[in-house]
Amino acid sequence: MTLSNLWPFQRSEQQRFDALVRPHLQRLYRLAYRLTSSRYDAEDLVQDVLIKLYPRLKELAAVDNPVSWMSRVLLNQYIDDYRRRQRSPLASIEDESRFYQLAENPRPQPHEVAEREYSAQRLQSALQSLNMEQRMVILLHDVEGYSLEEIRQMQDVPLGTLKSRLSRARSKLQKRLKKMEPSSTVQREIG
């Protein structure tokens, strides 16, 4: 009787983990990119999340919607990283100076003079003016299209809090975008 290697493909833990997370990596990357605005930082963030999730493979395999859970872990990881960076005075100085440089010298292109135009660069700069909570809710809701209920589940934050954050974020964003407009833009007529 031969106990042959008829079973060469018993999946290792690594293979099981890979099979579970691989279908969702691009979606996680997209979310990470929205938060970090950098390919490198987004990749690092996804990697950190996977390293955190690996020991919880059994739990991950048991949930109905693993991408929702992974997204939640990613958001929390981003928040932790962000707060850690904020505690470093050097990092916050760099962020602020980058914003003001862009806001005060928007260098409008000729075709932007006569009408408002919201370039990606201008929008990204304006987004940086928001605090982390405001930026996250507007990125998740207005950019990525998650409903407030979905965001509530991802972040475990009350719906009312999210609504007011979104409202304040939009208001602040609007003001920043107006401030960044070239001075020769259309004058508003008060009717």
Partner 1 sequence: MNCTETTTRLHQYLDSDLADQAQFEEHISHCDSCQAELNAIREWRRALAELPVEPARAGFEQRVLGEVHRHYPERHHHGFVTGFATAVAASLMLWLSSLMFFQQDISDASVVMLTVNQERTVRLMIEAVGDLDQVTLSLNLPEHVELAGYPGESRLNWQTRLQKGQNILTLPFLAVDQGQGEMIARVNYGDKSKTFRILMKTTDDGAMDYVIQPVPLV
Q: How far apart are CA 190 and CA 181, in angstroms?
A: 19
Q: How far apart are CA 127 and CA 131, in angstroms?
A: 9
Residue nearer to partner 1 on the CB measure, 87 or 107: 107
Residues near partner 1 (CB under 8 A) are 1-14, 16-18, 21-22, 25-26, 29-30, 33-34, 39, 42-43, 46-47, 50-51, 54-55, 61-62, 116, 118-120, 123-124, 138, 142-143, 145, 167, 170, 173-174, 177, 186, 188-191
Q: How far apart are CA 10 and CA 168, in angstroms?
A: 53
Q: Please, what is the minimum distance in Å from the beta carbon of residue 89 to partner 1?
A: 29
Q: Please, what is the minimum distance in Å from the beta carbon of residue 7 to partner 1?
A: 5
Residue nearer to partner 1 on the CB measure, 31 or 154: 31
- Closest residue by Cα to residue 118 from 174, 38, 186: 174
8: tokens are: 């060469």
Q: Please, what is the minimum distance in Å from the beta carbon of residue 170 to partner 1?
A: 5
Q: Please, what is the minimum distance in Å from the beta carbon of residue 48 to partner 1?
A: 9
Residue nearer to partner 1 on the CB measure, 25 or 79: 25
Cβ within 8 Å of residue 121, ≥6 positions away: 102
Quick one: 29 exposed, middle or buried, by C-beta within 10 A (0-12, 13-18, 19+)?
A: middle
Residue nearer to partner 1 on the CB measure, 1 or 90: 1
